[in-house]
Structure 1
Amino acid sequence: MKSFSESYKAAGVDVTAGYQAVELMKKHVQKTFTSGVVSGLGGFGGLFELDLEGISKPVLVSGTDGVGTKLKLAFLLDKHDSVGIDCVAMCVNDIICCGAKPLVFLDYVAVGKNIPEKIEQIVSGVAEGCVQAGCALIGGETAEMPGFYPVDEYDLAGFSVGVVDKSKILDQNSQKPGDVLIGIASSGVHSNGFSLVRKVFDIENADLNKTYPTLEKPLGETLLTPTKIYVKSILSLLDTVKVKSISHITGGGFYENIPRSLPDGITAKINRSAVKVLPIFDIIAKEGNIPERDMFNTFNMGVGMIVSVDKADVKNALASLISSGEDAYVIGELIEGEEGVIIC
């Protein structure tokens, strides 16, 4: 007999809706299962068996993040099947910066009202993100919180764990002046800076179907484009050349994220003319009258990842990334200095 409480339902929490949501999401979750998955949905913890073949000293690498106020776009457009990709991307793209392979993912969805069909849409996106990242969705939590969230809104966060052999953890201290920086194109705004985006467009009152000559899709769809997941491309690159460091360009843009992957005394010199700025960023800058430095300090500007390699490895690194379907190109170099980042 299924658990049920009429009193709890009267308080706004319908546990039967939770059961229905789980049944609807099962087919999406199961497509993410890899060989290490031991348990299915419904237990108190997700079980995963580590395959340590070829790994002498395993190190677990974890990452957690959410989608942020980009969710407001999903609410306004009533489109919920892509924000889960963002949630996965924000976690796994961080993990691979250490050289680790993501293994498992768990999500947390907090809702004002549990509408099973909407939960299914959200989790379908999470599952798609896991498929793109090659990791398994082994568990999660849906919390119905009436009175805390509006009935038509929710929050979404996630957590991922990966593994890397200790000897293969990327060593940012191996970098030196003359090393080359390769940029990998983003798919759009990704999942950062949306508080500013919402302010610029007055998003709650904006015409999200508005079109611009430089955009392939209407404004709302363009902004909701899910964050690109780079896991498989980066893992292939790591098998091809010696990568010295990787920067995931998220909140804080170039000025905050690139220095995180640099040793003391080394500065990243970015060739501004080389950066392939996506049209949406030109529109944001113009509509909001935002200085270019603030743009590079808030958004990815069309570059989702930056990898550092020796000058001798540039050709092979670019070939690997391009063969993986990435738009990759030289974006700058490392020089002596304490500035962290110079864009010129």
Structure 2
Amino acid sequence: MLAKAVDTVPAHDSVEGGLAFEPKWDGFRAIVHFDGSSVEIESRGSKPLTRYFPELVEAFARLLPSPCVIDGEIVVRSGPAGNERLDWEALSARIHPAESRVRRLAAETPAMFVAFDLLGLGEPGLDASSLVDRPFGERRAALEELVAPLGDPVHLTRITTDTDVARGWLTEFEGAGLDGVVAKPLAAAYAPGKRIMLKVKHHRTADVVVLGYRVHKSGVGVGSLLLGLYDDEGELRNVGGASAFSDARRLELVEELEPLVQRDDSGELVKGETERSRFSAGKDVSFVRLEPTRVVEVRYDQMEGDRFRHTAQFDRWRPDRDARSCTFDQLEIPVAYDLSKVLV
């Protein structure tokens, strides 16, 4: 079941039967299948995740009292006691082809599972019976009875029907690395693939320098803009990209950016390459370099270190801004919030 983005936390009574609110966890969405002895973990898109999280497989097999199917989020936490937060980079590193690396990371950066829905439940020795047609309120009650006693690394997500409390979470929990609030109709059945839930994420703007662009995968037009900000040392650093342009807009951008394209003495385009990661292996990471003088205002949700956590959205050109004035200082830094205070 998916979520539709909305601008503000809706009122509890804005839908029939009421809404329940949960923190929005920033991890790997996962469905856990336990048949009473073996455990399988799959992603939202049904990709197998079992081999990457052996510590969770062991924990589920040891802790779960009966067959079940649980919907939740795999996350990794880091930081000193009293100042922990979600660590997306450490979580991403857990997806590795080498078995030895998987085992080492399971010990060094162990994951935990935050449960937020129960899709199936059975008695010991029997197959899990589907709960997807039950209202969410009933599924949540059954989830609490099943998960609450288990303990680390299996946690139950917080929940409230108080709209004001949920709006407070939106601000406070960002400091622990969470990225919003989810609203779920208490009377709704589980609807796979449908956007029954509502999600509210953080939206901010920043003025950034356009470093270059990648050609669209079609081979025509701008696929994405590469964005940068100046650090305290005066170095221009890549902070992410902006994309999601229409076909017409991709072609327009090529013309708009042509005066900024860097060329060598023979008139050929000067190209660069961004750093490769395990997610870009085999992909074309080249881009057309531009003179770093054009400023664009983009919308973003949050930062992960010194980069935009997700792809930013193009808002407007800022011809009134000097590129050198686009620094990290303009970014809003959330107040730190200890992740242990979010966990149940």
Question: Whose strand proportion is higher, 1 or 2?
Answer: 2
Range into which the TM-score falls when normalised by the shorter chain = under 0.3
- TM-score for the superposition, normalised by structure 2: 0.25
Question: Whose helix proportion is higher, 1 or 2?
Answer: 1
- TM-score for the superposition, normalised by structure 1: 0.25
